[in-house]
Amino acid sequence: MLEKHPDTLTDSELYQKINSWVLTRNPESIFLDYKRELNFSKNKEKIELAKDISSFANYQGGCLIYGIDEEREDDKSIPFPKKEYGILPIEANVIDIENILTSIISPALPDLRIRTIMLEHEPSKVVYLLWHSKSWFAPHMVSGFKHTRYYKRGNFKAEPMQEHEIEAKYRERHATYEYTYNYIKNIDYGFGYRGANRSILKLAIAPLYLISNIKYFTYEDTYSLLPVHRRGSAISFLDGVVFKSYPGYYIVKLFFNGSTGICVDMVEYFSRYDEGKIACRLLDPNDLYRLFNETIWPYVSHFYKNIRIDSPVFLNLSIENPQGILLMSKQTNLPISNHLLLNGRQVKDLIYTNKDFEFSETFSFRELYINTEKIINSLIDRIKYGFGLFIKEF
C-alpha cells in the first residue's frame, strides 16, 4: 500500500514506487490489486471497476493499478506482477472514470484519487492508479445496471459483504460521528468574557477517528505549529496550548489529540444597520472571506500540515448571533431583505437571520492545507445558505 496520500506524491515518485513493486515482485494484498487493462465501455466492466474500488473504501483502503498483468507460481500462491507492464493511454480521461464511479457508487467516494502515470522507462505507455483511503462514509453500495451490492476487500479480490457486516459499518459510522461531535460541542473556547450581545463565530476541527489520549505534539512543539506572522504568546493548559490575539478578538486552542478550536468576535467585520424595527449587523461576503483567509485559516492549515494526522477531519462551525446578521449582496453592495425598501426599491431576496445556526462538514485532512481556497469558499457558501435563501442578482 502507498505509505502516503497520492496528493503528496509527484508522478515521478509514484512511478518509482510502482516500478519498484514490479521489479521486486511485490505481491497483491488486501491493500493492493493489479489489473491488466482499464476497460469501462460495457456495463459489466463499469460494475467491476466500481466493485474493486468500493471494496477498498469499505475495508482498510488501498489502490488498484491498471496496466500491470499478474501471474502466480501455482494455483494457491499470491499473485505478483509481471515484469513487462504498461498500456497505451486510453481515449477517455480521468473525469470520465470519476463520473462513472459517481453514478453507480452510493454514497459517493469522498477520497477517491485517479492518476495517470507515464512510465519513465517507456514513455509511450502508462499505468492508471485508483486509490482510496478507508472511507469515513462507508458502507458504499454499487448500484446500477440491475446490480445492487456492497463489497469488501477479501483475499486478492472484491467480495460481497454480509448483512451483519453492512450493519456494523453503519453503526461504526454513526458512533464515530456522534463521539466526535459530542467532543467538539463540549470544547471550552475560552470566550465567555466577551459578554452578551456579541456575534461570535466558533470553528472546531477534530480527527474523525478521535482518540482522546493520543498526543500529536508536545508543549515544546508549540511554536512550530503556529504560523510565523501569528505567533505572539502561547499559553499552556492541561490538554494543549492556547493563543489569544491582542486586543483579544480571537482565541485559538490547539489540543494534543489533534483537535483545534477557534473563536472569533466578529465585531470588526460588521457595520451597524437600522431600518424601522430591524436592527442588525451588516456583513459583506468579502469581509467574511477576509475573516477566514487572514485570521482563521492560517492557523488551521499550518497546524494540520505540521501534525500530519492520517485521518479525515470533522469540522463544526457555529455562529452565536443575538442581534441578527444581514448579508450584503456581492453584486450591488446592498443589503438583501424582503422587509426593506432601499432607496425606494423593493429588494426581493431575503438573506437574514436572527437565530444562531451551525453546520458540520467532513474533509480529508490534506484538503485543509492543499485545497485552502476551495474549503474557504465552501464554508462561506454554507454560511450564506444557512441564512435561508440563495443569493440572486437583482
What is the rounded average pLDDT of the residues 196-216? 83
* Cα separation, 194 vs 244, whole angstroms: 13
Instruction: Compute the distance between CA of residue 359 and CA of residue 374 in angstroms, rounded to an integer.
Output: 17
The Cα 311–Cα 319 span in angstroms is 26
Average pLDDT over residues 62-80: 86
Domain boundaries, the chain: 6-161, 179-386
Alpha carbons 244 and 242: distance in angstroms, whole number? 7
- Average pLDDT rounded to a whole number, residues 36-61: 92
**Can you name the CATH fold of 6-161?**
3.30.950
Q: How far apart are CA 59 and CA 139, in angstroms?
A: 9
Distance CA 391, CA 336 (A): 9
- 40: CB partners within 8 A, 6+ apart: 46, 49, 92, 96, 97, 100
Range of lowest pLDDT (31-35, 147-151, 374-378, 383-387): 383-387
pLDDT at 348: 42
Using DSSP's 3-state secondary structure scheme, residue 333 falls into coil
Q: How far apart are CA 357 and CA 359, in angstroms?
A: 7
On the question of pLDDT at 272 being above 60, the answer is: no
User: How many other C-beta atoms can be found within 10 angstroms of the C-beta atom of residue 378?
Assistant: 15
Please tell me whether the overall predicted TM-score, pTM, comes out greater than 0.85 for this model.
Answer: no
Provide the CB-side half-sphere exposure for 383 (13 A, CA): 28
- Please state, as a whole number, how many other Cβ atoms lie within 10 Å of the Cβ of residue 23: 10
Inform me whether the pLDDT recorded for 229 exceeds 70.
no
The H or E element spanning position 173 is: helix 163-185
pLDDT, residue 69, reads 93
Q: Name which of 131, 31, 33 is nearest 80 in CA terms.
A: 33
The confidence score (pLDDT) of residue 312 equals 84
Residue 232's pLDDT is what?
67
Mean pLDDT of the chain: 81
Work out the pLDDT band at 330, boundaries 50, 70, 90. Answer: very low
- Match 440563495 to its residue by C-alpha cell: 390
Q: What is the reported pLDDT for 46?
A: 93
Q: How far apart are CA 379 and CA 329, in angstroms?
A: 17
Torsion of the alpha carbons at 390, 391, 392 and 394, rounded to the nearest 10: 140
Dihedral of CA 15/16/20/23: which sign? positive
Chain length of the chain: 394
Going from the C-alpha of 393 to that of each of 331, 336, 348, 381, the distances in angstroms are 7, 10, 10, 16
